[in-house]
Every structure is written in structure tokens, then in C-alpha cells.
Amino acid sequence: MPENKQTGGGREQFGDIAPALAGYSEDVLFGQVWENRDLSGRDRSLVTVASLITSGSTEQLAFHLGRARENGVSDKELIETITHLAFYAGWPRAMSALTVARSVLTGS
């Protein structure tokens, strides 16, 4: 089964070792939470990117930067989000996020 871009492919990536967590990720997080229309996908993406940056969780940042772009967040807005968060989350976390963003936004 190919990775599902909508859900991040949790079952494909981790279903063999953590089927319950992979299922919760796809069915609850991406299936119910992300699809709830009380908050737009664009807003959810900005909140998620900000949360990943502030917590220093750059492992998942590339996926969510790409998803943010798919949800209508511009590259300029993503860079401004990282710049803004440097003052709230710390310079090292912002710089780490920029490293990931450079790779995602420029394809290098």
C-alpha cells in the first residue's frame, strides 16, 4: 500500500510495530480531528507547524510544512512563522526549523 499523503501513511510506516498508534494517527488524528470543519485545514496547518517548532519536534516538520503548502499556506508565511517563533520558542529551535524548511521549500 503506498503512503497516503492525506494521513501521512501511519499504517504503512509503523503498522508493523505499532498498529494501534498507527491506526489512531490515521483514523482519529487525520481522519476525525483534521477533517473537523470548526477550524480550517490552513489554520490547523499553521497551528501544527508552530507546535512542532516550539516543541523542537523537527522530525515531523517536513511533512507538515508540505501539508501546510497543500492547505494554502505560502512559503513566505511559513518563513515568517518561523521567524516570529524565534522570539517565543528560541533561536536554536527557529534555526533548526529553517534547516528543515530550506529542504522542503527549495527541494534541496
Residues 32 and 45 occupy one common structural domain: no
Residues 45 and 67 occupy one common structural domain: yes
Compute the distance between CA of residue 50 and CA of residue 72 in angstroms, rounded to an integer. 16
Query: What are the residue ranges of helices labelled H in the chain?
Result: 10-14, 19-23, 41-55, 61-70, 75-89, 91-106
Residues 45 and 28 occupy one common structural domain: no
Residues 46 and 29 occupy one common structural domain: no
How many domains are contained in the chain?
2
> Quick one: 79 exposed, middle or buried, by C-beta within 10 A (0-12, 13-18, 19+)?
middle
Compute the distance between CA of residue 20 and CA of residue 16 in angstroms, rounded to an integer. 10
Residues 60 and 93 occupy one common structural domain: yes
Residues 30 and 54 occupy one common structural domain: no
Domain that holds residue 81: 41-106
Q: What is the CATH number of the domain that holds 51?
A: 1.20.1290.10
Q: What is the pLDDT of residues 24-43, one digit of tens each?
A: 999 999 989 999 999 999 99
Residues 62 and 99 occupy one common structural domain: yes
Are 22 and 11 contacting, i.e. CB atoms less than 8 angstroms apart? Answer: yes
> Quick one: 78 exposed, middle or buried, by C-beta within 10 A (0-12, 13-18, 19+)?
buried
Q: What is the pLDDT of residues 52-104, one digit of tens each?
A: 999 999 999 999 999 999 999 999 999 999 999 999 999 999 999 999 999 99
Q: What is the pTM of this model?
A: 0.85
Are 99 and 62 contacting, i.e. CB atoms less than 8 angstroms apart? Answer: no
